[in-house]
Every structure is written in C-alpha cells, then in structure tokens.
Amino acid sequence: MAKNKGKGGKRFRKGKNGDDGGSKRELLFKEVNQKYAYVDKALGKGRFRVRILDPDKLTQRVLLATVRGKMRRRVFVHKENFVLVSLRSLREFEDEKADIIHLYTQAEVYQLIGYDELPKNALSYQLGGDAPAEDEDLFDSGNDSDPDDSTGMVTGEDGDVDIDKI
C-alpha cells in the first residue's frame, strides 16, 4: 500500500505553483455584443435567468443564460451574482439566450460602479426585488396622522402634555 508523501491532496499541491487564487486579476470590461447582468435565479444544469443591467433603458431585459464550457466545474455562479454575458446575436431565433463568460467578485462590482460601467443602484438588486428609481423616496415620512398635530402627542388646553389622556 502506498503512503502519502507530505500533507494535503491534489488541491494543496496545485497551490504550490504560485497561483493561490488570491492574486488580483485584471478587470474585464464589456465589449461588442456583451452586457453586464445580474443573476436572478438558478434553473439547473448550468442555466440561469439573468437580468440585463442597462442604465440607458428603463425596461429590463430578462434572458436565459448558460455557463460556457470553459467555465463549467471551475467557476460557480450563484443567485445574486454579477456576470458578463455574451449575447447570441448570430442566430436571429435565439435572441432570448446568452452565454455567461465572466463572473465578477464583489470588489470588482464596486470598481465597475466607480468607472460608471454599472448603474449606481446596481447593488440594490441584491437587497431584494427591483432597484428603486433615483427620485423615489426610500423612507416614509410618517405623517399618517392628523396634519395639524405634528408631534403626535396629546396636549391639554395650555399646550402642555396631558398625562391622563395618554
């Protein structure tokens, strides 16, 4: 029976070549027929429902995207990740399909927002649902009661707080 020489398995020995995975990689920007997208849902078998992030258009396009072969079993795409997709515009009957060609880390997403490649509200997709409009109020002002009573406290005749009426 053969004995193990050293500690660790195949993954440990792979790390000895100097590629520890923590090295900083070059930021990949979109090119022609490529779009930034947000993963809405994992459908199984390397297929995902993605939402195209286009700051110029008001409506959002939803596509069926598949992980390309080179990335399969090497890069794991999850829900709420930001990806770069390549549109399949070569064939006219496959307009609603795309290929996932790159997965962005959280730090790279912040860099893309800084370079104005992604919209400023792109991270609000991760918080849940649709992104709020820029002019939309995120908080309620809380003025559901009587508009004359700005403090919401019960006051007496002379303007003092009446403890008995509370």
| Helices and strands: H and E segment counts in the chain | 3, 5
Q: Which of 87, 108, 92, 94 is nearest to 26 (CA)?
A: 108
pLDDT for residue 34 is more than 70:
yes
Phi, then psi, of 29 in degrees rounded to 5: -95, 160
What pLDDT sits at residue 16?
56
pLDDT digits 0-9 by tens, 78-135? 898 999 999 876 666 677 889 999 999 999 999 999 998 988 888 877 665 554 444 4
SS3 string of 2-14? CCCCCCCCHHHHH
Contact criterion met (CB below 8 Å) for 125 and 131: yes
Which residues make beta-bridge pairs with 132? none
pTM across the whole model: 0.62
- Residue 95 sits at the vertex; the CA angle it makes with 128 and 79, to the nearest 5 degrees, is 25
| pLDDT, greater one: 123 or 63 | 63
